[in-house]
Amino acid sequence: MHQPLALLGGKPTRSKPYPAWPIFGRAEEQRLIRTLRSGRWGRLQGPEVARFEEQFAAQHGCRFGLALANGTVSLRIALLAAGIRAGDEVIVPPYTFLSTASAVLEANALPVFADIDLDTFNLSPAAVAAAITPRTRALIPVHFAGQPADMDALMALAKKHKLLVIEDAAHAHGASYGQRPAGSLGHIASFSFQSSKNLTAGEGGILTTNDQALAEACRSIHNCGRVPGGVWYEHHVVSGNYRLGEFQGAILNCQLDRLEQQTQTRERNGRFLAARLAQLPGLYPQKRDDACTRHSYHLFMLRFLAEEFGVPRQIFLQALKAEGIPCSAGYGFSLHHQPLFRNKAFGPFLPDDAARLDYTKVECPNSDLICSRQCVWLEQHLFLGRRQDTEDIARAFERIYEQRAALCEWANKNGAMPAATRPANSSRRRTNGRGRKGVR
Ligand SMILES: Cc1ncc(COP(=O)(O)O)c(C=O)c1O
């Protein structure tokens, strides 16, 4: 006889919390105090930000690094530095955080959405090819969840059409593709150090590149348009102050010392969980691209096919949380459905001919499908523990699957079953890696 699911009154699979995030200790304390006492709190005075830029860039295969206030302005500055102009088009995925597209608007250009691949959740090269117009100037692939996008195909397209490629590597600290680290795969890359990220100082960002001219242009824009060798009150381009402070630099230097070991742990645990979950019907962990030599597992993502697993996603997530496994459905809808795009509420950033783009007509069915019905997210800090901690996640999934009939009965009785998605209480075996025809 099974112990009932925690949602039905049983003992949870796990009662111990997962490692909290961020992780810090005496190293951070000492470095912050040293910075405080030095009185050198700005990057133009102190050593911390400069040291961090150098080390982070080197670890990510680049000669140049430029720390910034966050991973949104970094994208915008990369676009401005590359000469993107009003009305230019920049291709972005619809399955991403707002900034990937809003940074394009704030650079006075227009984001054009191209769908993702249903198995990897990354920008589909075929969809990008179909979205290219004579106005396309750049594309921003996101290494979603920490798996590098299909950069070989995307760079080939970029070369053919003379496009700039900005990697949005906000999730991909320490990830790699073939022999090369994320951050060195496009022309320039942007990382974020916002609170949830695999490397964090609460806020912050960095651009990495091997292109000296781009690096210098970005540096000037981030520092009020100043240029090397110029004097303090000498400003050459429209720009602002997007500098990172020394306290954040101090924390980032300590966190960077922890990154390699944490990335190895996440990768080990993430791979283990992916292999275990793939054994169960209806669970399709993010497909690993052959070229992905290291996944940074900012998120562990999977497609959850209710029809095969036998439980609606909403009920499943409730049950998984009750088992002591924090989880979510991720984005509720694709980015282009935001009111911002539907209403073209672009404020001063509306090119005269923006009428040619109607975001209510954009079609990205793969992104829509995983948002509305299929995606499940587990956050990176769950993967910083031991094998046993990941084993608990696998056991919770397995337990829910074994007791799916009781769970559905409970949901029906308690009026919790979502009417529109009520599945047959199926025990069908999975058919192939992409789900049955019609299930999507
Ligand atoms: C994919 C992606 N791009 C860009 C950003 C923006 O970074 P930030 O929050 O540092 O501005 C984020 C995260 O927050 C993100 O997840």
- Which strand (E) or helix (H) includes residue 314? helix 313-322
User: What pLDDT digit, counting tens, does each position of 40-66 carry?
Assistant: 999 999 999 999 999 999 999 999 999
Q: What is the pLDDT of residues 147-190, one digit of tens each?
A: 999 999 999 999 999 999 999 999 999 999 999 999 999 999 99
Average pLDDT, the chain: 94
Which ranges of 16-94 would DSSP assign to H, the alpha helix? 26-38, 48-59, 73-81
Q: What pLDDT, on a 0 to 100 scale, did the predictor assign at position 351?
A: 65
Two tokens, residue 225: 């348009």
Question: 3-class DSSP state for residue 207?
Answer: strand
For residues 433 and 34, is the Cβ–Cβ distance under 8 A? no
Q: What is the pTM of this model?
A: 0.94
Reduced to 3 states (helix: H, G, I; strand: E, B; else coil), residue 74 is: helix
First to last CA, the chain: 35
pLDDT at 106 over 80: yes
Q: Give the Cα separation of 113 and 336 in Å (integer).
A: 7
Ligand 1 pocket at CB < 6 A: 70-72, 96-97, 99-100, 142, 168, 170-171, 192, 194, 205
Strand duo 164-168 + 188-192: pairing: parallel
User: Active-site residue numbers?
Assistant: 197
Residue 361 has pLDDT above 90, yes or no: yes
pLDDT at 420: 55
Q: Render 133-153 in DSSP notation, one character per residue.
A: -TTEEEE--B-GGG----HHH
Listed in sequence order, the residues at least 6 apart from 233 whose beta carbon sits closer than 8 Å to its beta carbon are none
Containing 68, the helix (H) or strand (E) segment is strand 64-68
Q: What is the mean pLDDT of residues 277-283?
A: 98
Mean pLDDT of 331-359: 88
Closest C-alpha residue for ligand 1 atom 10: 71
pLDDT score of 1: 60
Structure tokens at 197: 């990220």
Contact partners, residue 425, CB within 8 Å, separation at least 6: 310, 404, 405, 408
Which ligand 1 atom is nearest residue 70's CA? 10
The pLDDT assigned to 301 comes to: 98
pLDDT at 303: 98
pLDDT at residue number 77: 98
Judged by DSSP in three states, 368 sits in helix
**Residue 352: pLDDT above 80?**
no
Least confident of 101-115, 141-155, 257-271, 340-354: 340-354
**Residues 318-337, mean pLDDT to the nearest whole number:** 98
Q: What is the pLDDT of residue 424?
A: 40
Residue 96 CA, closest ligand 1 atom number = 1
Q: Is the dihedral of CA 360, 362, 363, 368 positive or negative?
A: negative
For the stretch 11-46, pLDDT in tens is: 999 999 999 999 999 999 999 999 999 999 999 999
Q: What kind and span of H or E run contains 113?
A: strand 110-113
pLDDT in tens, 230-252: 999 999 999 999 999 999 999 99
- Report the separation in Å between the CA atom of 140 and the middle of ligand 1, taken as the mean of its atom positions: 13
Q: What is the DSSP letter of 385?
A: S
Place of tokens 């029809």: 307
Mutation test residue for ligand 1: of 90, 97, 331, the one with most atoms within 8 Å of CB? 97
The two structure tokens encoding residue 396: 């919770």
135-155 pLDDT tens trace: 999 999 999 999 999 999 999
Q: Which atom of ligand 1 is nearest the CA belonging to 196?
A: 14
Of all protein residues, the one whose alpha carbon is nearest to atom 16 of ligand 1 is: 97
Q: Which of 192, 195, 199, 207 for mutating ligand 1's site (highest number of atoms within 8 Å of CB)?
A: 192
